Amino acid sequence: MNNLVVGLETDFQGSGQKQSTTAGLFTGTDRIRYFGTVRARLGYAWDRTLLYVTGGYAYTNVGVDLSGPGGAVSSNTTKSGGTVGAGLEYAFAGPWSAKLEYLYVDTGTQSVTLLGVTDNVRIKNHIARVGVNYHF
C-alpha cells in the first residue's frame, strides 16, 4: 500500500531463564522454559528499509518451585498476555532481510503457596533481537 507495510509474524523461543530467592527457611525458584508471540506489524518502507511497530498476543511457560521445612510444591503453566515493540529491517539480497527488534512481553503473575508462604512471579521480558528473515 504505497510505502505502508502491514504484516503478521509469529515466533517461538526456548529459554533457560531462572531466578532463585531464599527467605528464611523457604526457597523459591522461578523458570521460564519457553515463550512466543503472534503479532501484527505496521511499518513504513522507503527504498530497502522498513521501520515498524509491532504488537499482539504473547505466551510464556513458567515453572515455580517453592520448598521449605514442610515440603515442596511446584507449578508449571503457560500464561497468556501481550507484547509490543518496534524494529528496523533492511532488505539486503532478493528475498533476504536483516532486522533489529525490541519487544516487551508481559504475561501476568504466577503464584504458588506452601504453608502460607506465597511466591508471586511477575512474568515480563525485555527482548532485543538481531535476525535474518527470508520472505516468501
The CATH number for 94's domain is 2.40.160
Note the pTM of the prediction, 2 decimals.
0.80
**Alpha carbon of 61 to those of 14, 54, 74, 76, 126: distances in Å?**
10, 22, 13, 7, 16
Q: What is the tally of structural domains in the chain?
A: 1
- 136 residues of the chain, pLDDT tens digit each: 789 999 999 999 999 999 898 988 888 888 899 999 999 999 999 999 999 999 999 999 988 888 888 888 888 889 999 999 999 999 999 999 999 999 999 998 877 666 676 777 788 899 999 999 898 8
Residue type, 91: A
Residue in the block written with cell 509469529 = 10
Residues 6+ apart with CB under 8 A from 119: 21, 28, 30, 64, 66, 111, 112, 113
Domain of residue 61 covers: 4-134
Residue type, 69: P
